[in-house]
A and B are shown apart, each in its own frame.
Chain A
């Protein structure tokens, strides 16, 4: 697990000396993709229920917890991923759709959303 976090942090542009430009470029793309999924009503539509401190987040909903302190709340980024994949595992009565289990988003799309919200 630990190793995994480090890799993700590296991808966030901290390390990987050799492939720095490549990694950060694709990472920026990943984050941009995640952001568009977060905002898009026909895709993630996360903004319908979650506040996020992004100036482009217009009229976010409040059904779910706000997207804040994500790295502190989910030191293991994969647990965050799993929460998006199927939130009913932790809370059987949640209103949150199981984005992975019901294939609402593809696995790549879930990774992109994770990359975007993990910055907050």
Chain B
């Protein structure tokens, strides 16, 4: 009997939890409201960490955890990504075989534009990330694609982010097709995956700043601002989609393709959530 009553209680709780949160969030093209989602996410974090300034969320876990912040600030005194920015600048300015260069592919010559990526491209009918645009620029000019996760593409992306430091993330969802991509990214963020059955939200919303052994997971608000990132664990620079793949493997799910539609839509959603926060990439993390 005891079992049945506790199951009943569990089921009741489940239904309450389900009813209260599901009612207010959009899950169809007609009801999804990116701006409402963004404000709800901000409110969630501000309620939970009232002492933390909104602008500080670009510093990830270090905005919340004073102990690890000191170590990180020490690390940032001699930034491990400095060399990569220099390399990136050189790559960015080296002309292609046809005489053109990256500057010809981007608005404002590619300087100070990071905050507008990813964007919904009407023409291509898909979300275009900065890395995708970099490789499209190469193929349009007869060059080979770069690998998506690390190396040159990360260095070029790092330089472009660096020239955009302080610009505020400004992602737009201009029409229903863009909304569908946004909604797909949103659903992905909250969907459980892998044998460990975890969603992005389990660690980067619910579980934020709570120790997992000696580590603490960072908040998803401000998550994208510091990419590409120099991770001590990698000993190198890597792109956001490299990190997505690592995260998915950590929950024992087979990683999806870097720059595939799923990850690009996820980046679209996550970047919209960080609208209004300043670009501060490249960054460094454990």
Contact = CB atoms under 8 A, between A and B. Distances in A.
Contact of B198 (A79, A92, A95): A95
Interface stretch (B42-50, B55-63, B123-131, B208-216): B208-216
Contacts, number: 58
Contacts of A1: 2-3
Given A1-B2, A98-B197, A104-B195, A92 B14 contact: yes
A79 B3 contact: yes
Chain B, interface residues (CB within 8 Å), range: 20 to 34
B3 A76 contact: yes
Nearest to A97: B196
A104 B13 contact: no
Interface string A83-97: 000001111110101
Nearest to A87: B197
B254 interface: no
Contact of B210 (A61, A76, A92): A61
A1 B5 CA distance: 14
Contacts of B196: 97, 102, 104
B10 A89 contact: yes
B210 A91 contact: no
Contact of A61 (B3, B17, B211): B211
Contacts of A102: 195-197
Interface of A: 1, 47-49, 59-63, 76, 78-79, 88-93, 95, 97-98, 102, 104
**Closest 8 pairs between A and B when the two form their complex, measured CB to CB:** A90-B10, A95-B202, A97-B196, A61-B212, A61-B211, A62-B211, A59-B214, A92-B14
Interface of B: 2-3, 6-7, 10, 13-14, 17-18, 195-198, 202-203, 206-207, 210-214
